[in-house]
Structures are given as C-alpha cells and as structure tokens.
C-alpha cells in the first residue's frame, strides 16, 4: 500500500491542511517502522471511510481508521513481527498500543483519533482496555458534551468493525489456526466480534462494502 492510496479520501475541505499533514507524517513514520501495520492501517482507513459514508458523510472516518493502530509505533518490532506463539508478556506489550496511540494522538491535538485509538478494541468479547484502565485516560476533548462522546464511541465501533474484517482477511497469525474465514462464516464471526454493530455489518454486506 502507498500513502497515495488513501490520499483521495482526505481531499476534502472539512479536513484542515494542518490535520492532514499530521496524519500523513504519522503514517509515513509507521510505514518506515513496520510496513505490514502501515498496510493494515491504510486498508482500515479506506474501509472506515466507506462504512462512515454508509452511515453519514463524516469525511474524517478514514483518518480515524488510518490512525487506529498508530500506537504500534511504540511497540517493539519483535512483538509486531510475531505471527505465532504469543505468550502473556507479548500480549500485554501488544495491548499497550492502544494507550500509546492515545498519548501520541492527544499530544498532537487529534482528540477524536486519540479516543478511537484507545477504544478500538473495546467492542470485542475479550475487550481492552478494561474499565479500571480506561478511567486513567480522560476523554481528550475537555468539557465534551455527552453527544460528542457518543459520536466518538460510534466511530470507534465502526473502526473496530473495519479492523476486525481486515485482520481476519489479511493478517497472518494463528488466531484461526491457519484457516481463513470467508463468506457467511466471516460475516458471522464479525458479528460475534462486534455485536453492537450487527446492523452496520449486515448493511455493509448488503451494499458490497464487505464481502
Ligand atoms: Fe489495534
Ligand atoms: Fe488494527
């Protein structure tokens, strides 16, 4: 994947030049650090953009998707490159990508992206961060209204769906013991990963965004 693959999704007047530059700079760093995570991020960005377009037309959904795993910049390559035999220590190190992403993105004043990076694994059955850990990280928009927070959670859930779909279809690991899920099986699995998004998942299949 190339940065130019996602660039067309960001050509909108609703995204400031400053924000676009920050996003491309981060993605450039991610590409230099770990190409497979970069490729995954671009695919999730494109998927999130399409899923967001299906729900309404927030042009920033692609950014939220593209940056969801940016915290992996701070995860050691030994862990990122491991495709099998994860032990508990590896799992804990990998899990910290969500708080690392939150720190990177909130310091760059990309608060929605920061929240989505922190919470994009909260929608799956074995979710993280857990509530006690989540409480350490304030919602990065001071004095946000409940509806702003709800909107960020909605986007996080949507990015989570794109993330699960891409991980199941492209990532090489031992999650399914070498079996690639396809068709109805993949669709059913996606719903188990994010039951709250069942309606969106079914709609995405009906419209051909997912297949
Ligand atoms: Fe992630
Ligand atoms: Fe991901």
Structural domains of the chain sorted by starting position, each given as residue range(s) with its CATH number in brackets: 3-206 (1.10.3210)
From the CB of residue 157, how many other CB atoms can be counted at a distance below 10 Å?
19
Q: Which ligand is nearest to the CA of 36?
A: 2
From ligand 2's centre to the CA of 14, what distance in Å? 25
From ligand 1's centre to the CA of 203, what distance in Å? 24
Q: Which ligand is nearest to the CA of 44?
A: 2
Percent of the chain exceeding pLDDT 70 equals 93
User: What average pLDDT does the segment 12-26 reach?
Assistant: 84
Q: Which of the 8 DSSP states describes residue 175? A: T
Band the pLDDT of 42: cuts 50, 70, 90. Answer: very high
Q: Which of the 8 DSSP states describes residue 194? A: -
Q: Which ligand is nearest to the CA of 159?
A: 2
From ligand 2's centre to the CA of 37, what distance in Å? 8
Q: Which ligand is nearest to the CA of 171?
A: 2
In whole angstroms, how far apart are CA 58 and each of 9, 25, 61, 74, 187?
11, 22, 6, 29, 25
Band the pLDDT of 11: cuts 50, 70, 90. Answer: low
From ligand 1's centre to the CA of 87, what distance in Å? 17
From ligand 2's centre to the CA of 69, what distance in Å? 5
Model confidence pLDDT, tens digit, residues 144-196? 999 999 999 999 999 999 999 998 888 765 555 566 778 898 999 999 999 98
- What is the distance, to the nearest Å, from the Cα of residue 61 to the centroid of all Cα atoms in its chain? 10
Model confidence pLDDT, tens digit, residues 85-134? 889 999 999 999 999 999 999 999 999 999 999 999 999 888 999 999 99
């Amino acid at each position: 994947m190339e940065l130019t693959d996602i660039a067309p999704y960001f050509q909108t007047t609703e995204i400031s030049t400053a924000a676009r530059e920050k996003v491309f700079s981060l993605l450039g760093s991610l590409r230099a650090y770990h190409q497979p995570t970069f490729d995954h991020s671009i695919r999730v960005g494109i998927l999130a953009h399409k899923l967001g377009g299906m729900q309404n037309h927030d042009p920033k959904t692609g950014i939220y998707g593209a940056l969801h795993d940016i915290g992996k910049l701070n995860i050691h390559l030994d862990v990122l490159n491991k495709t099998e035999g994860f032990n508990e220590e590896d799992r804990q190190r990998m899990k910290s990508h969500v708080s690392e992403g939150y720190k990177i993105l909130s310091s760059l004043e990309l608060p929605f992206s920061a929240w989505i990076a922190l919470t994009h694994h909260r929608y799956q059955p074995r979710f993280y961060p857990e509530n006690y850990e989540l409480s350490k990280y304030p919602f990065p928009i001071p004095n946000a209204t409940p509806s702003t927070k709800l909107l960020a959670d909605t986007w996080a859930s949507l990015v989570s769906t794109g993330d699960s779909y891409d991980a199941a279809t492209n990532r090489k690991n031992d999650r399914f013991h070498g079996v690639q899920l396809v068709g109805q099986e993949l669709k059913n699995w996606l719903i188990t990963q994010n039951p709250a998004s069942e309606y969106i998942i079914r709609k995405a299949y009906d419209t051909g965004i997912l297949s």
